[in-house]
């Protein structure tokens, strides 16, 4: 690989914004990719992947380069030089790389790789918390998996096409995909590429959605004609899947506390040809109370730490705070208590998170089931998905049923 000056400059600028100005990596990368219209897909791939890589390995690279935050521009170039050295990328004779001690970098890497929190590049508190909750052995394997780049998985929109048709349409564009056993609607890209510019995407034939996330709507066991409430719908990744599983029949109510997310869902639903969705903003307890005892199915895709999706969101390692996790756990138990009241007798509820922490997952469900509000429910089944076991995002889902 040869390093190109303007791509490296773009990456360094982006990293300064992410590390020093607290901006979100995905937003920064989105902006960077608009910088030069002449960049081809390889150039864009380089900027995006290098930025994410250096964000992912910030702590390790900073320890190796002996730099501390707030980073100067020179510090960022040092992190960049560490990245290139460890990747085996030849450093050009630019002034930024003049004093790069390549042998020392490799030696420091070997030495620091003996300490998990540095090797895996996570803050102390996160390493301690996750090791306490999952056990040392599980966490060591899990964080290593969560530091890998995620595959791109598509969810075929069965309202518009079939897996076979989509696969062949993409094949004609030289985009190769594989089916995944046990994930009925999923196609995995054999090679990372931008699929959002394809005609198939524009006409709603698929969404990009991780395989673990695709299990959640399946888990809720919906049928055409049911009344289903997706309580934390956000921009609707799972709502759209539910609509497809319901074959557009019945009533699907998508709720969230943020109106702008539901607006985005509306746009996506139009593209997907999903017609049975109604959006409702939760701006008081009223919209919830109106649905007490009414729903056949309720999905709570709860707000969480997001520790299961670090592969696609590595800057969460640096943005998350332990206090946030404590607060979100409180929200999770309040949501479970209040939104479960929408389930009608005999109806079912799925509680899901993209976290791997038992305290946000099975412990929340156990606590709910032994509480006064949970007495009316029985536990049916659960899935604890760890990234190192599944190869996909870390997720949790529990199915409970109202008596």
Beta strands in 319-385 (DSSP E): 343-353, 377-385
Q: How far is the CB of 335 from ligand SAM (least distance, A)?
A: 5
Q: Which is nearer to ligand SAM, 12 or 336 (CB)?
A: 336
Q: What are the start-end ranges of the E strands in 259-316?
A: 277-281, 295-301
At its nearest, how many Å lie between ligand SAM and the CB of residue 240? 8
- Distance between CA 190 and CA 180 in Å, rounded? 12
Q: Is 43 labelled as part of a ligand binding site? A: no
Residue written as token pair 């598509």: 154
Which stretch in 134-142, 164-172, 250-258, 382-390 sits in contact with ligand SAM by CB under 6 A?
Answer: 250-258
Quote the DSSP letter at residue 313. -
Q: Was 256 annotated as part of a binding site?
A: yes
Is residue 394 a contact point for ligand SAM (CB under 6 A)? no
Per CB under 6 A, 256 contacts ligand SAM:
yes
Contact flag: residue 325 with ligand SAM (CB under 6 A) = no
Selected binder of ligand SAM within 127, 133, 296, 301 (CB under 6 A): 301
For ligand SAM, the closer CB: 273 or 287: 287
Q: How many residues make up the chain in this entry?
A: 403
Helices and strands (H, E) in the chain, number of each type: 19, 11
Of 133 and 301, the one with the shorter C-beta distance to ligand SAM is 301
Q: Does 233 bind ligand SAM (CB under 6 A)?
A: yes
Tokens representing 176? 């190769």
CA-to-CA distance for 65 and 75, rounded, in angstroms? 8
For residue 215, report the phi and psi dihedrals to the nearest 5 degrees.
-80, -20
Contact 373, 334 (CB under 8 A): no
Q: Phi and psi at residue 347, in whole multiples of 5°?
A: -80, 175
Work out which of 44, 58, 261, 348 binds ligand SAM, going by CB under 6 A: 261
Please name every residue paired with 399 in a beta bridge, in sequence order, or none if there are none: 350, 381
Is the separation of the CB atoms in 96 and 141 below 8 Å? no
From the CB of 353, what's the least distance to ligand SAM, in Å? 7
Report if residue 280 touches ligand SAM, rule: CB under 6 A: no
Distance in Å, CB of 364 to ligand SAM, minimum: 14
Binding region for ligand SAM (CB under 6 A) out of 56-64, 135-143, 174-182, 253-261: 253-261
Q: Is 303 in the site for ligand SAM (CB under 6 A)?
A: yes
Check whether 283 is labelled as a binding-site residue.
yes
Return the structure tokens found at 392: 């996909």
Tokens of 311: 């592969």
Q: Does 175 bind ligand SAM (CB under 6 A)?
A: no
* Chain center to CA of 267: 20
- Cβ atoms of 47 and 11 within 8 Å: the answer is yes
Distance in angstroms (rounded) separating the CA atoms of residues 256 and 395: 20
By CB under 6 A, residue 237 contacts ligand SAM: yes
Which window, 38-46, 95-103, 181-189, 230-238, contacts ligand SAM (CB under 6 A)?
Answer: 230-238
- Contact yes or no for 237/212 (Cβ under 8 A): no
Query: Which residue number, 142 or 301, has a Cβ lying nearer to ligand SAM?
Result: 301
Identified binder of ligand SAM from the candidate list 211, 277, 335, 350, rule CB under 6 A: 335
According to DSSP, residue 341 is labeled: G
Q: Shortest approach of ligand SAM to residue 30 CB, angstroms?
A: 18
CB nearer to ligand SAM: pick between 237 and 374: 237
Q: Which residues are catalytic?
A: 354
Catalog residues that contact ligand SAM under the rule CB under 6 A. 231-238, 256-258, 261, 282, 301, 303, 331, 335
Which parts are annotated binding residues?
Answer: 256, 283, 301
Which parts are annotated binding residues for S-adenosyl-L-methionine?
Answer: 256, 283, 301
């Amino acid at each position: 690989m040869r390093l190109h000056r303007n791509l490296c400059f773009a990456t360094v600028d982006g990293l300064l914004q992410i590390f020093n100005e607290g901006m979100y990596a995905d937003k920064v990368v989105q902006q960077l990719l608009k910088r030069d219209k002449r960049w081809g897909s390889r150039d864009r791939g380089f900027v995006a992947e290098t930025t994410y890589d250096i964000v992912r390995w910030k702590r390790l690279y900073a320890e190796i380069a002996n730099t501390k935050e707030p980073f100067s521009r020179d510090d960022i170039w040092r992190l960049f030089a560490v990245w290139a050295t460890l990747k085996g990328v030849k450093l050009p004779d630019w002034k930024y790389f003049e004093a790069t001690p390549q042998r020392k970098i490799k030696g420091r890497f070997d030495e620091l790789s003996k300490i998990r929190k540095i090797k895996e590049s996570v803050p102390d508190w996160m390493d301690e918390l996750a090791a306490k909750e999952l056990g040392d052995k599980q966490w060591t394997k899990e964080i290593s998996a969560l530091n890998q780049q995620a595959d791109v998985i598509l969810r075929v929109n069965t309202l518009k096409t079939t897996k076979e048709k989509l696969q062949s349409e993409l094949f004609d564009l030289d985009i190769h995909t594989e089916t995944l056993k046990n994930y009925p609607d999923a196609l995995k890209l054999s090679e990372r590429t931008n699929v959002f510019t394809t005609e198939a995407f524009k006409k709603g034939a698929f969404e990009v959605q991780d395989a673990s996330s695709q299990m959640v709507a399946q888990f809720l066991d919906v049928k055409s004609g049911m009344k289903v409430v997706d309580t934390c719908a956000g921009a609707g990744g799972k709502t759209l899947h539910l609509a497809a599983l319901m074959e557009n029949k019945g009533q699907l109510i998508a709720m969230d506390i943020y109106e702008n997310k539901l607006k985005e869902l509306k746009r996506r639903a139009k593209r997907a040809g999903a017609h049975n969705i109604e959006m409702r903003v939760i701006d008081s307890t009223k919209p919830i109370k109106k649905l007490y005892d009414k729903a056949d199915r309720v999905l709570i895709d709860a707000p969480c730490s997001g520790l299961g999706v670090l592969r696609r969101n590595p800057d969460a390692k640096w943005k998350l705070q332990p206090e946030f996790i404590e607060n979100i756990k409180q929200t999770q138990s309040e949501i479970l208590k209040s939104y479960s009241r929408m389930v009608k007798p005999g109806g079912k509820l799925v509680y899901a998170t993209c976290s791997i922490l038992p305290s946000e997952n099975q412990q929340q469900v156990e606590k709910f089931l032994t509480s006064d509000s949970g007495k009316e429910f029985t536990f049916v089944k659960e899935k604890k998905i760890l990234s190192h076991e599944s190869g996909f995002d870390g997720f949790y889902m529990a199915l409970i049923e109202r008596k």
